[in-house]
Amino acid sequence: MVKICCIGAGYVGGPTMAVIALKCPSIEVAVVDISVARITAWNSDQLPIYEPGLDGVVKECRGRNLFFSTDVEKHVFEADIVFVSVNTPTKTRGLGAGKAADLTYWESAARMIADVSKSDKIVVEKSTVPVKTAEAIEKILTHNSKGIKFQILSNPEFLAEGTAIKDLFNPDRVLIGGRETPEGQKAIAALKAVYAHWVPEDRILTTNLWSAELSKLAANAFLAQRISSVNAISALCEATGANVSQVAYSVGTDSRIGPKFLNASVGFGGSCFQKDILNLVYICECNGLPEVAEYWKQVIKINDYQKNRFVNRVVASMFNTVSNKKIAILGFAFKKDTGDTRETPAIDVCKGLLGDKARLSIYDPQVTEDQIQRDLTLSKFEWDHPTHLQPMSPTTVKQVSVVWDAYEATKEAHAVCILTEWDEFKNLDYKRVYDNMQKPAFIFDGRNVVDADKLRDIGFIVFSIGKPLDPWLKDMPAVA
pLDDT at residue 111 in the model = 92
Average the pLDDT over 32-58 and give the result: 94
pLDDT at residue 60 in the model = 96
> Is residue 391 within 8 Å of residue 358, measured between CB atoms?
no
Q: Is 8 annotated as a binding residue?
A: yes
Q: Kindly indicate the confidence band of residue 50, based on its pLDDT and cuts at 50, 70 and 90.
A: confident
pLDDT at residue 362 in the model = 98
For residue 383, is pLDDT > 60? Answer: no
The 10s digit of each residue's pLDDT in 443-458 is: 999 999 999 999 999 9
Q: Among 5-14, 123-132, 390-399, which range has the highest average pLDDT? A: 5-14
For residue 360, is pLDDT > 70? Answer: yes
In the chain, where the domains are located: 3-199, 241-473
For residue 13, is pLDDT > 90? Answer: yes
Q: Is 341 annotated as a binding residue?
A: no
Q: Among 91-100, 244-253, 381-390, which range has the highest average pLDDT? A: 244-253
Q: Which residues are catalytic?
A: 272
Tell me, yes or no, if the two domains 3-199 and 241-473 fold the same way. yes
Q: Kindly indicate the confidence band of residue 421, based on its pLDDT and cuts at 50, 70 and 90.
A: very high
For residue 381, is pLDDT > 70? Answer: no
Average the pLDDT over 5-10 and give the result: 94
For residue 391, is pLDDT > 60? Answer: no
The 10s digit of each residue's pLDDT in 156-171 is: 988 888 899 999 999 9
The 10s digit of each residue's pLDDT in 214-246 is: 998 999 999 999 999 999 999 999 999 999 999
Q: Is 207 annotated as a binding residue?
A: no
Q: Is 420 annotated as a binding residue?
A: no
Average the pLDDT over 79-101 and give the result: 84
Q: Is 342 annotated as a binding residue?
A: yes
Q: Kindly indicate the confidence band of residue 389, based on its pLDDT and cuts at 50, 70 and 90.
A: low
pLDDT averaged over every residue in the chain: 92
pLDDT at residue 174 in the model = 97
Q: Is 394 annotated as a binding residue?
A: no
Domain 241-473: which CATH number of 3.40.50.300, 3.40.50.720, 3.30.70.3340, 3.30.300.30: 3.40.50.720
pLDDT at residue 24 in the model = 97
pTM reported for the whole predicted model: 0.88
Q: What percent of the chain has pLDDT over 70?
A: 94
Q: Kindly indicate the confidence band of residue 379, based on its pLDDT and cuts at 50, 70 and 90.
A: confident
Q: Is 33 annotated as a binding residue?
A: yes
The 10s digit of each residue's pLDDT in 285-334 is: 989 999 999 999 999 999 999 999 999 999 999 999 999 999 999 999 99
Question: CATH code for 3-199?
Answer: 3.40.50.720
What distance in Å separates the CA atoms of residue 439 and residue 151, rounded to the nearest whole number? 65
pLDDT at residue 179 in the model = 93
Average the pLDDT over 30-40 and give the result: 95
For residue 186, is pLDDT > 80? Answer: yes
